Amino acid sequence: MSVPGARGFRGCLLPILLVGSVTLVLAEGSLRLLFEPMLGKPPANAERSSESEFWQRDEALGWSHIPNASGTFTNGAFDGEVHFDSLGNRQNSAAGTFIDGHRNIFFLGDSTTASLEVDDDETVPALLERRLRAQGWRVNVVNLGVRGYGTDQSVAKALQIAGRIPPAEIIYMFTDNDVWDNSVLRQAGRRFGKGVYWRPGEQSEFVPWNYPVPEYPEDGFGFVLLDEECRPRIQNGSFQRPERPLDSGRRLVSDWLYLPRAIGFIRHAVQDHAVESIDPSQMISGPDRATWSDEFSLAYTDAGAVRARCASYFDDQLRFLLGRLRTIRGLERLTVVHFPDWSVNRSRSAGRLAPSVDAFEAMVRDRTLDGYLDLTKGLERNGAPPRDLQCPYDSHFCEQGNAWIAAQILQFTLRR
């Protein structure tokens, strides 16, 4: 039996490499052609390119917008032209639309409110202001949204700004990660940290922790961990993701090619734990002794184990935080708008309760809130497919999604 020589081996290798290269090119081209709305145009990362351009450390809030900053927020699939006023609020146009003497409506929230993915005049607050004025209302809708904020930071910013611009009405846009954000001191890998309001030991009231906000170690993390009996404690430590070979090259390829993104989607679908099974307390004390996991936040959503088990703790926390807004002199109305929530949808589909929905509805009954709008229910009723409302390669709503939300809020506002 003869063994092929080096020349024969090279002759076989060349066609294999050629076929492999053609296959990769065809796969990349097919993904760009068929799945661009889902995967987005390169580059994929908006945060890295603009974090230092828009945000600054803030001892009272953790981080805040740089006053009078402006620029472009982009991941290649969307491009938001962004302008902030002298108080760090996102403007409703590049020139601003605020009119002295008009009734002020504060719009609070996180990235879904700040909506950096779209131009100034395409955010929900800007659209709502324009449509209310078209109805004859003399109003300013002031966009206090900041990317990454929880309820605690949104409330603190409103209290801070209220002395300069007194609000007659406040609308707070709650999102699925706000309960987690309310319990976080610093997420691993994030540039900035914050404080928390928590209820330690036998105390009956929520008290501040780490205010004023310190400078956290670069590799530090911290959050409020609730055990099996829902007793809270501060869990903190150091965490560094191990450097992998060719990490910079991996990031470059991931940012600019579709194939690694598609593989990432498949890998997460196969490897990620079911949301209902994630419990940070068990993961930290278990045999593998996790120090940190990006999955921890999922346990605090409506579909998660911790949110369901410790509902009374989180409900009381939300009630306390939103109740602080009632101290604003002249405030006439406080409303929560619940951004379309995958975890609420998942819980309802499985026949389970949605704790956050129940909590807000209870707050309306006891007059902590004057109104509550569940946009998940509106989405289910209208049958609007989320992919038509979301930004490419991003979970945030873009122009069409923001227009849909503004229309829902306008109908809700005019009905009351």
**Cis before 214? omega within 30:** no
Average pLDDT over residues 256-285: 74
DSSP state letter for 64: E
How far is 296 from 230, CA to CA, in rounded Å? Answer: 15
Helix axes 258-271, 6-39, angle to 10 degrees: 80
How far is 396 from 386, CA to CA, in rounded Å? Answer: 10
Residue 293: exposure state from Cβ atoms within 10 A (0-12, 13-18, ≥19): middle
At position 63, the amino acid (one-letter code) is: W
Q: Is 324 helix (H, G, I), strand (E, B) or coil?
A: helix
Find out whether 411 and 59 touch, Cβ atoms under 8 Å: no
How far is 125 from 398, CA to CA, in rounded Å? Answer: 13
Given pLDDT bands bounded at 50, 70 and 90, which one contains residue 6?
low
Confidence (pLDDT) at 45? 52
DSSP state letter for 119: -
pLDDT digits (tens, 9 = 90+) for 112-122: 999 999 999 99
Confidence (pLDDT) at 4? 54
Confidence (pLDDT) at 280? 95
Q: How long, in residues, is the chain?
A: 416
At position 133, the amino acid (one-letter code) is: R
Confidence (pLDDT) at 202? 81
How far is 309 from 328, CA to CA, in rounded Å? Answer: 33
Q: Is 350 helix (H, G, I), strand (E, B) or coil?
A: coil
| Nearest one of 190, 203, 192, 195 to 224, comparing CA atoms | 195
pLDDT digits (tens, 9 = 90+) for 150-179: 999 999 999 999 999 999 999 999 999 999
Confidence (pLDDT) at 387? 75
28 alpha carbon, distance to own chain's centre? 29
Confidence (pLDDT) at 18? 74
Q: Are strands 371-374 and 333-338 parallel, antiparallel or unpaired?
A: parallel
Domains recognised in the chain with CATH numbers = 47-240+272-415 (3.40.50.1110)
Mean pLDDT for the chain?
87
DSSP H/E element including 166 = none
What are the helix (H) ranges across 189-285?
247-256, 258-271, 280-285
Does position 294 have pLDDT exceeding 70, yes or no? Answer: yes
Find out whether 379 and 344 touch, Cβ atoms under 8 Å: no
How far is 167 from 162, CA to CA, in rounded Å? Answer: 6
How far is 413 from 153, CA to CA, in rounded Å? Answer: 25
Residue 155 phi, psi dihedral angles, 5° rounding: -65, -45
Given pLDDT bands bounded at 50, 70 and 90, which one contains residue 251?
low
pLDDT digits (tens, 9 = 90+) for 42-98: 554 544 556 678 999 999 999 999 999 999 988 766 789 999 999 999 999 999 999
Q: Is 235 helix (H, G, I), strand (E, B) or coil?
A: strand
| Nearest one of 320, 275, 319, 282 to 300, comparing CA atoms | 275
What are the helix (H) ranges across 109-173?
111-114, 124-134, 151-162
Find out whether 197 and 152 touch, Cβ atoms under 8 Å: yes
pLDDT digits (tens, 9 = 90+) for 362-401: 999 999 999 999 999 988 887 777 778 988 767 889 999 9
